[in-house]
A and B are shown apart, each in its own frame.
Chain A
Amino acid sequence: MLKKKIQSGYNFAFLDEQSKKEIRRRTLKAVAIPGYQVPFASRELPIARGWGTGGLQLTMSLIGPDDILKVIDQGSDDVVNAVNIRKLLAQTTGVRTTEDTREATLIQTRHRIPEEPLEDWQILVFQVPYPEPLRRVEPSEVKTREMHAEADYSRLWVYLYEDIVRWGEITIGAQYPVMVNGRYVMDPSPVPRWDVPRLNMAETLYLFGAGREKRIYAVPPHTRVESLQFSDYPFQVEDFTGKQCDLCGSTDAYLDEIIDDVTGARRYTCSDTAYCAKRRQLKEEAGKNA
């Protein structure tokens, strides 16, 4: 594949080298203290804060000319946020981009972890809207920092307890709070519960960036990540039993529900579009060979 033309007048990967250095330093600190939110000097970017700028700055400070980049939004490569971020990065770095999870060295994601297993040579960068898991129970930043410092998570636990008392189960769908390395409670960004167990003892480095809130945090490979749960109300992922992807027939992927406007019928498709497309292609090839 031909290298795309790099936009002239910009530094490699848009950010100036000092900014990248700052972000890399913060990233190293975040990796050293798993789950701890490291403040950083969030830069102005050509997209608005809160539209993936945290993840984008991490990607910009990590990317090199030999990287192969994949950008997804809610599992899809072709959604406007993913397309724009991919374009910006491609234009300012000239790196090769891909939709194939197994090929990408650097993946920036909004609210999903790709279905295909990730390995130790890959880095997954999350875009985070609200990095503070205690914000649900405490509005003051000063207090939440104190609570983290003292490992005082009883109020978050009470929130979960009251959820069970009121609804019979924990109603948090996305953004399920997790305990990292037995020390810090962390917000895994609004990924569905389905993706949360995949943070635990993983091969890959997971980096989280919140541009508007100016925080970077990380889950290094082989780190314990446990969902908060009660011994009599264990953590559960979304249940898709009896459902399958309408396009590729997958029964073990996270599915999106689509309701037909006319008939009102429910269909399900894989949320990870690249994974779905790959499965369909493999099926087609298998059909030709048979």
Chain B
Amino acid sequence: MPKEEPLLRVRRLARIFGSGCSKCTSCTGPLTGTNICSYCHSIVACAGVSFDLYAGEILGVVGESGSGKSTLVQCLYFDSPATAGEAYFKAYKDGQANMLACSVQEKRYIRHHLMGMVYQNPQQGLKLDFTAGGNIAEKLLAAGIYHVGQIRRRAAELLQCTEVPLERMDHLPRFFSGGMQQRVQIAKALANNPPLVFLDEVTTGLDVSVQARVLDLIKKLQRKLGLTMIVISHDLGVIRLLTNRVLVMKSGRVVETGLTDQILEDPQHPYTQLLVSSML
């Protein structure tokens, strides 16, 4: 049997804020405990991040604030340009071309057709002045569907899927509760059936009962649609519930990877041990 090809291959991804110098990567990282280069004072948000993601898999990324988790995903979703590194995405040119090096038009195409993103803060992912339906329409229109009837049918289907009452489809998300805004955001991210979805701290800032419902929903959708996801969280509970495999990050580097159960039961790296032992 031929070996399965990963959906996404990321190699040595780095994002440096500032001028950057040749010593940036060697003098930052978990060993030095900082991500600020002592020579040029650039911030090394993440560096040398490599991993494979297979179709249907959910990969968790954990780490403290400032460990580079969000930067990693922002680079992959083209919100922020990567300083170095390569990423090969099976859905784009059959994984033959480095998607981080393609043109802005191609990046836009990948973003709108092949990826979905749910941000921690719904204000980032939604246009609060557009209706809930309009927000979903934006993604569909960007993918070239110019038929109002079709757009509305798809939007209704997605809102039903994410348990947003249909009568609120033509209301502004500005007047929605946090949990409902988050569900609209999930609906938007799923609009084009993207092969890859990023979830960046989706439940942070929601109260516990709403958190549970959103997690439940994600789990359900994942089973139903066979989604491939990268889930970022500092909450190990969320990671345990959702993910199959996990990357642990500290000071912009991956310090440990493995199966979620394995990492949570038997952490090897001192930082992971600290993280697991401080779990409530």
Contacts and interface: CB of A to CB of B under 8 A. Distances in A.
A231 interface: yes
B32 interface: no
A65 B170 CA distance: 59
B149 to A, nearest CB: 5
Contact of A149 (B104, B127, B148, B170): B104
Given A161-B134, A161-B137, A162-B131, A150 B146 contact: no
Interface residues of A, number: 18
Given A161-B137, A165-B131, A165-B133, 6 more contacts: A151-B105, A158-B138, A161-B151, A165-B134, A230-B147, A232-B149
B141 interface: yes
Contact of A158 (B104, B134, B150, B152): B134
A165 B148 CA distance: 9
A165 B131 CA distance: 10
Contacts, number: 53
Nearest to B152: A165
A162 B141 contact: no
Contacts of A152: 108, 142
Interface of B: 104-105, 108, 112, 127, 130-131, 133-135, 137-139, 141-142, 146-152, 170
B170 A165 contact: yes
A232 B151 CA distance: 11
Contacts of B134: 158, 161-162, 165
A83 interface: no
A232 B137 contact: no
- Residue of A151, A158, A229, A232 contacting most chain B CB atoms (<10 Å): A158
Contacts of B149: 232
A233 B150 CA distance: 12
B148 A232 contact: yes
A162 B147 CA distance: 13
Given A231-B146, A231-B147, A158 B105 contact: no
